[in-house]
Amino acid sequence: MGSNGDSDDIDWSDDEVRTCSSVSSVSVHIPVFTPPTCESSTSGSKINNRFLEMGYPSRVVLKAMEEHGEDDEEAILNAILTYLGQNKYFETMNLLEDMGFQYDEAFTAINRCGLETPIEELVEFIDAAKMGKEDDLQDLQVELNDAGQSRNGKKQKLSREERWTDTGKRMPLMIGFGVPNVGIKTIHREIPDAGKGPPYFYYENVAYTPKGVWENMSRFLYEIEPEFVDSMHFSAAARKRGYIHNLPIDERFPILPIPPSTIQEALPITNKWWPKWDLRTKLNCILIRHGSAEDTKKIKEELDKSGPDPPEHVRKNVLEQCRKYNFVWVGKNKVAPLDLDEIEVIMEFSKCHTRGGGISTTARYQCLGNSFQVDTVAYHLSVLKKLFPSGINVLSLFSGLGGAEVALHRLGIPLKFVVSVESSETCRNILQSWWEQSNQQGTLINIFDVRDVTLGKLKELMDMSHGFDLVIGGSPCNNLAGRNRYTRDGIYGDQSSLFFDYFRILDLVKKITVYRGYG
């Protein structure tokens, strides 16, 4: 934590790590889906443009505006969602759940049978799926029903709080302080004074770390309780991440249109070849490496050998491999790893975000596997739109592909001044070319190494920008991630210890902000 010989005009004596009582009481209520609220606007063409920017087909937008006038944005959005079948989706989900089916059952049924399938057939599908899973699933069902009735002495649907894997295992839902459509928690949370902005900050890392890591990080980050969210609630792939931030959590909204949230919707070309006995509707976490060609070959050979109705042990083995390597079905008995453009879209970057400019395939897989899932982060950042209508100054640490920048841009928050700190030249190039292509009007400054972000450098940057509104970043997870067999050393590991630079820089920005009266 050297201050590089800067002449200090602030008291930089080492802070004790703050000990604040972090209190948060949680209450839960379960609303049905409501479309995101939109500010009222004065001109119809403005609204039109906004919906078009959101990516809705112009024909649909025009039709909605014809029927609902030009000013009632909420009614127009509602109509668009109806035309696109999204309202129907939520209605059907709610109906099935009201009938007593679990979230995942309803989810799978709709996504396997299609939205237009009559409700009776969906019910049949679910029942049939259950029969196919034999005794263990029946036992599970009994167990779930029992649990559903006994919890808190009140009948309660477990599906809102928990989900089941396609093998029937119960998993935590990981919805943090709420996600769209699944069930929104109403939460009152107190942020300890030391953690309050300005600046706002947002820190991200993998949810499953060695024991004690999140407690440790939380202790540094002002005792703020982490929010754990699985991006499966925003996209077709799981991504269990923890976020420590001091953002408000009321009135969050997702970026629109809501992207496909199942494998079947996101990768429709796989439907034709997807076997009935592969019940996956969600991909596992997208990693930095893809599965091997050798493994896909073995799967094909094994299935070709066992004929049209493979025996249980073959299915089990194939499914195990598919889950492990995130294989999808691309031909008869033929699985393949995800393509790069498929990953780009699932992470909610645009197609070709990482393509070209001399970047190798391996490097693309790597930086995409390291990235934010944009919808998830955008949902959390959406509260900034109201707070910074004229634009935002961002210090983006460990920027990578620019997930934070893309999220803010997609939310329609102008990027006035962005300092991006990123050690990979490849990633800096990708962010730089996105910046140019997306027609940014603000300033982008690239810095190579977080260690170069000293007190003096920060003062210089904050003089230029009049302070930072948001400090955002996810520090390296190498030494935390479960897949690491060699150097899962925890927060003090070679790469993951850069967390402390995140903290150092954030804390310096806080102090400069107070001292100079920014914000």
Partner DNA sequence: ACAAGTATGACGTTTAGC
Partner DNA sequence: GCTAAACGTCATACTTGT
By CB under 7 A, the residues from 67 to 126 that bind DNA are none
- Among residues 102, 205, 261, 354, which is the contact residue for DNA, using CB under 7 A? 205
The residue type found at 375 is: D
Q: CB of residue 267 vs DNA: minimum separation in angstroms?
A: 17
**H or E element that contains 447:** strand 443-447
Q: Could you tell me the two tokens for 284?
A: 């596992």
- Among residues 40, 43, 145, 292, which is the contact residue for DNA, using CB under 7 A? 292
Residue 52 or 137: the one with the smaller Cβ distance to DNA is 137
Q: Could you tell me the two tokens for 67?
A: 């029927």
The Cα 205–Cα 239 span in angstroms is: 11
98 in Cβ contact with 159 (< 8 Å): no
The yes or no reply on residue 281 touching DNA (CB under 7 A) is: no
Q: By three-state DSSP, how is residue 446 classified? A: strand
The yes or no reply on residue 495 touching DNA (CB under 7 A) is: yes
* Of 15-23, 43-51, 165-173, 438-446: span binding DNA (CB under 7 A): 165-173
**H or E element that contains 505:** helix 499-516
Around Cβ 392, how many Cβ atoms within 10 Å?
23
The Cα 376–Cα 243 span in angstroms is: 11
The yes or no reply on residue 162 touching DNA (CB under 7 A) is: yes
Report phi then psi at 164, rounded to 5.
-120, 140
The yes or no reply on residue 148 touching DNA (CB under 7 A) is: no
The yes or no reply on residue 430 touching DNA (CB under 7 A) is: no
Phi-psi region of 152 (alpha: psi -120 to 50; beta: other; left: phi over 0): left
Q: CB of residue 148 vs DNA: minimum separation in angstroms?
A: 12
- Among residues 29, 59, 211, 313, which is the contact residue for DNA, using CB under 7 A? 211
Residue 284 or 446: the one with the smaller Cβ distance to DNA is 284
- Among residues 165, 321, 350, 446, which is the contact residue for DNA, using CB under 7 A? 165
Q: Supply angle C-alpha 409, 414, 417, rounded to 5.
A: 105
The yes or no reply on residue 369 touching DNA (CB under 7 A) is: yes
Q: Could you tell me the two tokens for 98?
A: 């009201």
The binding track of 435-474 with respect to DNA, each residue x by CB under 7 A or -, is: ---------------------------------------x
The yes or no reply on residue 485 touching DNA (CB under 7 A) is: yes
47 in Cβ contact with 73 (< 8 Å): yes
Report phi then psi at 415, rounded to 5.
-95, 100
Q: Could you tell me the two tokens for 52?
A: 């078009």
443 in Cβ contact with 416 (< 8 Å): yes
The yes or no reply on residue 207 touching DNA (CB under 7 A) is: yes
* Bridge partners of residue 202, in order along the sequence: 245, 472
- Among residues 13, 294, 308, 312, which is the contact residue for DNA, using CB under 7 A? 294
- Among residues 330, 363, 383, 387, which is the contact residue for DNA, using CB under 7 A? 363
The yes or no reply on residue 338 touching DNA (CB under 7 A) is: no
By CB under 7 A, the residues from 223 to 242 that bind DNA are 238-241
The count of chain residues that interact with DNA, using the rule CB under 7 A, is 54
Cis peptide upstream of residue 199 (ω within 30 degrees of 0): yes
The Cα 519–Cα 502 span in angstroms is: 20
Q: CB of residue 290 vs DNA: minimum separation in angstroms?
A: 8
Residue 443 or 495: the one with the smaller Cβ distance to DNA is 495
Residue 99 or 147: the one with the smaller Cβ distance to DNA is 147
* Of 16-24, 27-35, 56-64, 486-494: span binding DNA (CB under 7 A): 486-494
The yes or no reply on residue 483 touching DNA (CB under 7 A) is: yes
* Of 111-119, 167-175, 440-448, 505-513: span binding DNA (CB under 7 A): 167-175
The yes or no reply on residue 375 touching DNA (CB under 7 A) is: no
Rounded to whole angstroms, what are the CA distances from 342 to 83, 256, 257, 267? Answer: 25, 19, 17, 8
The Cα 200–Cα 463 span in angstroms is: 18
Report phi then psi at 132, rounded to 5.
-60, -25
Q: By three-state DSSP, how is residue 416 classified? A: strand
- Among residues 478, 501, 508, 513, which is the contact residue for DNA, using CB under 7 A? 478
Contact positions vs DNA (CB under 7 A) = 162, 165, 167, 169-172, 204-208, 210-211, 238-241, 284-285, 287-289, 292-295, 320, 323, 358, 360-363, 369-371, 398, 474-488, 495
